[in-house]
Amino acid sequence: MRPIELMPTLELSLRTLWERWLGHLPEVAAHPSTMPDRSPEEVLFRLVARLAESYPFGHPQYAAQMLKPPHPIAWAAYALAMVINPNNHALDGGPATTYLEREAIGELARLTGWETFLGHLTGGGTVANLEALFVSRELHPDRPVAVGENAHYTHRRMAHLLGLSVRPIAMNAQGGMDLDALEDMLRRERIGTVVATLGTTGMGALDPLEEIVPLARRYGARVHVDGAYGGYFALLARGRVPEVEPGPFRALSEVDSFVVDPHKHGLQPYGCGAVLFRDPAVGRFYRHDSPYTYFTSSELHLGEVSLECSRAGAAAAALWATLQAFPLEPDRGMGPILSACLRAARDFYRALERSEHLRPVLAPQLDIVLFGLRGKSRASELASAHEQLFRSAARIDPPVYVGLYRVPVRWLRHHWPDIIPDQAETTVLRAVFMRPEQEAWTDRILDGLEAAIQG
């Protein structure tokens, strides 16, 4: 489905909304000051010219970054709600979209299996993780947090903002948190929270959460899970035949807090993240007052349990509408979309194994594949060759877009033992298969890369 296909429905919906929203009030003439200096057509077509300079995020041959356009239903729902421009800080500013957000958060909570919880949408994973670490600091103000070296840099940045100390934990050969290193840290220091990741943004790795949780509990530590990228794959862990490693996802029911980004696999526009807490009582740490909001209802306003103030109600409307169209089920709705992404990554991995010029690093756990050139021995040589291929692939016709990823050479030698470690880090290539259409394009992506290699 393309956005233009929804234009007739969007126009009809907009007319209907305008009538129901404002039709009972006296008509208002536009103020002369709101008339633009240039015609809307001129302005928008000038904008089109600028926007067209973007990378083709929506095409299957773009596999470089975690970027893709939202589903047209999410786009249309967001556009429709933006006519009102509700603010979900309080029921005063977003009465309808506040309830839509609560319903949507209830659906996201099903990924964890929690019956009771506290949660809300955020501007993205960064703020969502900030809120989780904020609660951690309030509960354990003098304790450091343990964060895997594979984790997103967000955690270190947010911990710095909060004045929390961070203890890095080494990663294992599969890119997940090393349990021996974690236990050693827990034994030596009184850790407040262990931050685990389900779907690292570098390689889509899964931390062994089913083993991290009991280990952390043994030493009195909380567990926060960053599922910003991989959280939605919990759906595929609970199918009749699990399509991903089920253990880490099943352990979500036992953690203390959970972050997921609907603007990644949830088909949403930026920015739409979410944070959920298993214990609703942590809402006490958010307690504050406002002299001019929270007056229309004695119900809990979302701003009373959020660090952000103004929050786009349109994001809640878009997520709610998308969940209506694509329910969070393994065999329908979102499930088949995620399954196609997994198949694309696994097909690409198998094709790399057969390739004369390229080789995979390790089998993908989700939908991200690390790979590189055969026949290069030194880590420095490898990095230079991969950077060259990264650029040349984007210049062929048609172009192929892949990404680069820095890894420790000591880790890479688990998979490529022939690498000569003449430097501490090197660069490998990275492909992200987060568009289901890519399932039919893996051979073309590989053909394009091999064409770029051969010049």
Residues 6+ apart with CB under 8 A from 333: 325, 326, 327
pLDDT for the residue numbered 303: 86
Query: Could you tell me if 133 and 193 are in contact, meaning their C-beta atoms sit under 8 angstroms apart?
Result: yes
* Residue 1 resides in a domain: no
Alpha-carbon span 226 to 198, nearest angstrom: 6
Share of residues in the chain with pLDDT > 70 (%): 100
Both ends of the chain: CA-CA distance in Å? 36
Alpha-carbon span 437 to 344, nearest angstrom: 9
* Residue 28 resides in a domain: no
Give the total number of structural domains in the chain.
2
Is 258 found in the same domain as 202?
Answer: yes
Alpha-carbon span 433 to 407, nearest angstrom: 20
Is 353 found in the same domain as 216?
Answer: no
pLDDT for the residue numbered 41: 95
pLDDT for the residue numbered 392: 97
Query: Looking at the predicted structure, is the pLDDT value of residue 298 above 80?
Result: no
Which of the listed residues 261, 292, 325 is the one where a domain comes to its end? 325
Is 215 found in the same domain as 175?
Answer: yes
pLDDT for the residue numbered 69: 95
Instruction: State the residue for tokens 């070296």.
Output: 149
Query: Could you tell me if 222 and 193 are in contact, meaning their C-beta atoms sit under 8 angstroms apart?
Result: yes
pLDDT for the residue numbered 161: 95
What does the DSSP assignment read for 55-77?
--TTSTTB-SSS--PPPHHHHHH
pLDDT digits (tens, 9 = 90+) for 201-257: 999 999 999 999 999 999 999 999 999 999 999 999 988 899 999 999 999 999 999
**Boundaries of domain holding 441:** 334-453
* Residue 376 resides in a domain: yes
Query: Looking at the predicted structure, is the pLDDT value of residue 295 above 80?
Result: no
What does the DSSP assignment read for 342-396?
HHHHHHHHHHHHH-SSEEESS--SSSEEEEEESS--BHHHHHHHHHHHHHHHTTS
Is 394 found in the same domain as 251?
Answer: no
Is 320 found in the same domain as 341?
Answer: no
Tokens of residue 302, six digits: 């979302």
Q: Which residues, listed in sequence order, are joined to residue 162 by a DSSP beta bridge?
A: none
Is 384 found in the same domain as 260?
Answer: no
Query: Could you tell me if 160 and 133 are in contact, meaning their C-beta atoms sit under 8 angstroms apart?
Result: no
Query: Could you tell me if 68 and 435 are in contact, meaning their C-beta atoms sit under 8 angstroms apart?
Result: yes
Is 209 found in the same domain as 286?
Answer: yes
The domain that holds 441 is classified in CATH as 3.90.1150.10
pLDDT for the residue numbered 294: 76
* More reliable by pLDDT, 291 or 146: 146
Is 207 found in the same domain as 119?
Answer: yes
Alpha-carbon span 159 to 253, nearest angstrom: 25
